[in-house]
Structure 1
Amino acid sequence: MNRVQLSARIIERKSMRYTPAGVPALDLVLEHESTVTEAQQARKVKLDIKAVALGPVAEQLNRQDTGTTFGLVGFLGATRTGRGLLLHITELNDIV
Structure 2
Amino acid sequence: MELEGVLISSRGLRYTPAGIPVFEGVLAHRSTQTEAGAERRIEFEVGIKSLGECGLRLAELPLGAVIHCTGFLAARTLKSRTPILHITELRHMEGKEHG
Match for 2:22 among 22, 25, 33?
Answer: 25
Distance in 1 (alpha carbons) for counterparts of 2:72 and 2:22: 16
Match for 2:83 among 79, 85, 95?
Answer: 85
TM-score under structure 1 normalisation?
0.91
Structure 1 equivalent of residue 97 of structure 2? none
Q: Percent identity?
A: 35
Q: Which runs of 4+ in 1 moved over 4 A?
A: none
Match for 1:37 among 28, 34, 48?
Answer: 34
1:51 aligns with 2:48: yes
Contact 2:65 2:92 in 1 (8 A): no
Structure 2 equivalent of residue 70 of structure 1? 67
What secondary structure is seen at the aligned counterpart in 2 of 1:67? Answer: coil
What secondary structure is seen at the aligned counterpart in 2 of 1:20? Answer: coil
What secondary structure is seen at the aligned counterpart in 2 of 1:14? Answer: strand
TM-score under structure 2 normalisation?
0.89
AA in 2 matched with 1:87:
L
Runs of 5+ unmatched residues, structure 2: 95-99
AA in 1 matched with 2:90:
L
What secondary structure is seen at the aligned counterpart in 2 of 1:15? Answer: strand
Distance in 2 (alpha carbons) for counterparts of 1:79 and 1:70: 21
Query: Superposition RMSD on alpha carbons, in Å?
Result: 1.0
Runs of 5+ unmatched residues, structure 1: none
